[in-house]
Amino acid sequence: MLTGGGAKDVGLVQMITEELGVEVLVPEEPQITAALGAACFAADSFL
């Protein structure tokens, strides 16, 4: 899985896919995955 703004770069995703020889997954909104993870962690801490 590739996250962050770089994941929006089709050429970067293709290069990594070719170098690793595996399919690279890109979330629908890769630039906010860290924020979503932090929000889930914070919500879990308060429950």
Q: What is the pLDDT of residue 46?
A: 78
Q: What's at 15, amino acid-wise?
A: M
The whole model's pTM is what?
A: 0.72
Q: Look up the domain containing 11 and give its range.
A: 5-46
Q: 5-9, 10-14, 31-35, 43-47: which has the minimum mean pLDDT?
A: 43-47
More confident residue, 9 or 46: 9
pLDDT of 47 strictly over 90: no
DSSP 29: S
pLDDT of 16 strictly over 70: yes
- Cβ(32)–Cβ(3) under 8 Å? no
Domain count, the chain: 1
